[in-house]
Amino acid sequence: MSTYDIILRNAYLMARDQVVDIAIDDGVIAEIDDAVERTADREIQVGGDLVGPGFVDSHMHIDKSFAACGRRHPKGNDSAFDFREIMPREEEYFAEMTVDEITENALKDIEMAVAAGTTYIRTHVAVNHETFGLQNVEAVTRARDVAANLVDIQIVPAARHIPSEESKQILHDAIELASGSESPEPALVGGSDPAGANKDIERTLKAWFDVATKQDVGLDVHIQDGGTLGGYTLDRLHEYTEANGYEDRVTASHCYCLSHLPNHHLDRLIDQFTESDMNIVTCYQSTRPTMPVRKLLESNVTLAHGTDNDRDFVFPHGNADSLEGALIESNKLHGDRTFVEDYRWFDSNEGLDQLWEMITEQGARALGIEDRYGVSEGNPADLVVFDEPSPQWAIIAQATRRFVLKNGAVVAEDGELLPEYSVSE
Amino acid sequence: MSTYDIILRNAYLMARDQVVDIAIDDGVIAEIDDAVERTADREIQVGGDLVGPGFVDSHMHIDKSFAACGRRHPKGNDSAFDFREIMPREEEYFAEMTVDEITENALKDIEMAVAAGTTYIRTHVAVNHETFGLQNVEAVTRARDVAANLVDIQIVPAARHIPSEESKQILHDAIELASGSESPEPALVGGSDPAGANKDIERTLKAWFDVATKQDVGLDVHIQDGGTLGGYTLDRLHEYTEANGYEDRVTASHCYCLSHLPNHHLDRLIDQFTESDMNIVTCYQSTRPTMPVRKLLESNVTLAHGTDNDRDFVFPHGNADSLEGALIESNKLHGDRTFVEDYRWFDSNEGLDQLWEMITEQGARALGIEDRYGVSEGNPADLVVFDEPSPQWAIIAQATRRFVLKNGAVVAEDGELLPEYSVSE
């Protein structure tokens, strides 16, 4: 009997609620059994603790990452600022940055994410025909290719100054650039608020779908306008999705409006999400405490999680750590017994399970990788070994990521990337 | 020239915004200078990173800690529950627990807190004349004495079934028990909601002040009723404080109502807090996102922070880590550009500074230890050496606590208590 490459012995699998052995061969999960009989070149004793799939970080901005670093106090975050300042800050920052520098920061961000257990990333990347052009997409595409053995990355170019013709052209070019023949993951059309950012809901949506349909790629767009303005934008996004036959190919990120609207309005939006198979992504940094996470998940809407910004001029925070995100979401969504629904739900074992799903399976659904995701025989061995016995305790104790495996290779141990897998300078 | 015990070389001090040497002798901060000339038995190179005072955890419940542990999923947190269930859960749990078991859990909780950088704790402790009596106070008093070289602990017995005569008697006895002649810190009168818990606002307040004034001790009470009910309770608490000459001796913990009331009502309450020098404590686990943290601090109200429950039947969460608390508070208080004030304030360098204050100086004010607290010559050497250069980066990166010093002794390194300082079994 030949030997396996790696066996994880006595691993708790949440899906089976059982302790099993997991055998890995040739990058793939070869066998899962109560007790795998064959041996392996490397056997890791998990001791009954949790083994989960690599985290799916459904929303990052790796082109901006570490913009706030390099000084004693975070740069660009001296005081609070109006969100409309983000665009000028972005233009100012990237005017000074080279492709090499952006690539290096993106690689550091990838390393941080992988060390924390992430094996799939969707990252938004700014493009701007008026100022910094395609440099960020060049950088992130390069970083993606350099780090291909650490993480799968989907790139979402987001053109500023939509819906002008020039912005549509550069968005088109960005998709081409990021979808080179070697790239394993398709690029998607990104962008921000048709109303609040682009001041023209109809022409923005039309521009996004023009570019997406022309290149036959999906969309993942920021819908951050609040209240009924955001709700109306989601209505129109749904209608464009249906009109273009884009069911299951559109993601709406953030959707703060869902935390502002009354239940009857929410119910109608949820019906639309279901009809057009629209995915929603929320991010711990900016999730509103009244975000109807439980309601969305229990209505079978795909609701994934992203860690969003990492130490940049938008947020000084960020450790690219989905498990930290889940802990913070749990505390944010704790509720208020006085006035808010779902009090304590996200402290409960069921609620913590839902948060765990958002950083794993729900992310896989949002990224369209569910056919190859999860701890099942035949899937790529993208796994995390924790030092806690369940998703609940992993979130609560912010468990050590003892081992992170990508395609069957151990790439990080005890929260640190192995030196031989380092991709940054 | 004689040598010092320890010198921390090249330590960044926030108060001076300067890198200095800190010399420690005989448990005390002996000298702070740009470059201390004398040498020491042990010299620690801080490399320009932050050295801060030990954290003040102004609100814990170490008697309940770890009640949820021991199973694959947190016990007693299977589903969400109504807050009125907490009392029966508490009675059920403690009916099965011995003083030894409670002591052991309290010691583990203390160890977790100290390893995270906490050197001062105020803990609430349940007493109940109908069921588990004084056992928790016995246990926590014992734990306090055993761990006296790790942390200073203030005990706040909170009697259930107030305002009955029996409950007043047991509260009195608990204060006596916790204020033994050897105890360095006075006990305080604790308790919960005069309305929501005890169903009699006037008699509850009267009972609390009767016991407190009789023994000449302060108060720290949970005011968790929301909205105008909580606001009215704070009005009456203020009036009792003034009537009893108890200015600067009363702390109101949680005060969820402050996050529900309109600004004009809040302004009146803040005036009262100022008049009676009342301290407020909020806890990251349950802080409401609209808690007016900035407004309170900028009105010079003492607003401290506690980590509250640790893995018990009230909350499954809890690592007794004030720095984690500050990160979560920052994300909770992030705000909502659509409808809520202070958007992004607690992401900013100034906002993060305020959160840092809450886990340090503000805590010292709430605990009444400000005369001996802080990184100044002559104070006890209760210090934390971080691997990040500022409070902001320490919060964001959840900095490693390289060294924790209590009374000049290194008691923890790299987030782990040193074995020779272990107090649990």
In the listed set B371, B387, B406, which residue is the last one of a domain according to the structure?
Answer: B371
Give me the CATH number covering residue A203: 3.20.20.140
Same domain, B15 and B81: no
pLDDT in tens, B342-389: 889 999 999 999 999 999 999 999 999 999 999 999 999 999 999 999
Question: Residue B189 falls within a domain, yes or no?
Answer: yes
pLDDT in tens, B321-349: 999 999 999 999 998 888 877 889 999 99
**Residues of A designated catalytic:** 254
- Residue among B80, B344, B398 minimizing CB distance to A348: B80
Q: Are A240 and A110 contained in the same domain?
A: yes
Residues A263, A132: one domain?
A: yes
Interhelix angle for B135-146 vs B99-115, to 10°? 40
At which of B356, B371, B386 does a domain end?
Answer: B371
Cα(A309)–Cα(A59) distance, rounded to whole angstroms? 9
pLDDT at A83: 80
Put simply, the answer to whether B316 touches A344 (Cβ < 8 Å) is no
pLDDT score for B13? 97
Q: How much is the pLDDT for A180? A: 77
CA distance B344 to B341: 9
Q: At what angle do helices A99-115 and A135-146 cross, to 10 degrees?
A: 40
Residue A260 sits in the same domain as residue A199: yes
The string of pLDDT tens digits covering residues A60-81 is 999 999 999 999 999 988 888 8
> Residue B189: is its pLDDT beyond 90?
yes
Contact: B350, A289; criterion CB under 8 Å: no
More confident residue, B84 or B282: B282
Give which of B132, B57, B55 is closest to B101, Cα–Cα.
B132
For residue B76, pLDDT beyond 90: no
Q: Are residues B367 and B355 in the same domain?
A: yes
CA pair distance B256, B84, nearest whole angstrom:
16
| Partner residue opposite A289 with nearest CB, options B289, B337, B343 | B289
Q: Provide the domain count of chain A.
A: 2
Which residue range is the domain that position B413 belongs to?
4-48+375-420
Q: Residue A58: is its pLDDT beyond 80?
A: yes
| Cβ distance of B390 and A343 shorter than 8 Å | no
- Do B123 and B102 meet the contact criterion of CB atoms below 8 Å apart? no
Query: pLDDT band for position A2 (50/70/90)?
Result: confident
Residue B425 lies in a domain: no
Query: Which residue carries 């990452």 as its tokens?
Result: A65
The verdict on B257 and B316 lying in the same domain is yes
Kindly tell me if the per-residue pLDDT of A339 is higher than 90: no
pLDDT tens digit string along B147-188?
999 999 999 999 999 999 999 999 999 999 999 766 777 899
The whole-number pLDDT of residue A181 equals 66
A327, A392, A398 member nearest B74 (Cβ): A392
Domain end (from A347, A371, A395) = A371
Does a structural domain hold residue B400?
yes
Structural domain includes residue B308: yes
Confidence (pLDDT) at B140:
98
B120 and B168, same domain (yes or no): yes
Are residues A64 and A31 part of one domain?
A: no
Q: Are residues A43 and A73 in the same domain?
A: no
Say if residue A94's pLDDT is above 90: yes
| Residues A378 and A334 placed together within one structural domain of the fold | no
Token representation of residue B20: 């200095």
Q: Which chain A residues are closer than 8 Å to B347 by Cβ?
A: 77, 80, 315-317
* Percent share of chain A, pLDDT over 70: 100
pLDDT above 90 as % of chain A: 92
* CA–CA min distance B81, chain A (Å): 7
Do residues A46 and A89 share a domain? no
Assess whether B63 and B137 both reside in one domain.
Answer: yes
Alpha-carbon distance A342 to nearest alpha carbon in chain B (angstroms): 8
Alpha carbons within 13 angstroms on the beta-carbon side of residue A370 total 13
In a domain, B147, yes or no: yes
How far is A114 from chain B, CA to nearest CA, in Å? 16
Annotate B85-95 with b (16+ C-beta within 10 A) or e (fewer).
Answer: ebeebbeebbe
Cross-chain residue pair B396–A318, CB shorter than 8 Å: yes
Task: Give residue B255's pLDDT.
Answer: 98
Name the strand (E) or helix (H) holding B6: strand B4-13
Check whether B103 has a pLDDT greater than 80: yes
CB contact under 8 A, A331 and B319: no
For residue B37, give the CATH number of its domain: 2.30.40.10
Angle at CA A65, nearest 5°, toward A60 and A71?
Answer: 150
- Provide the pLDDT confidence category of residue A421 given band limits of 50, 70 and 90: very high
- Whole-number pLDDT of residue A78: 86
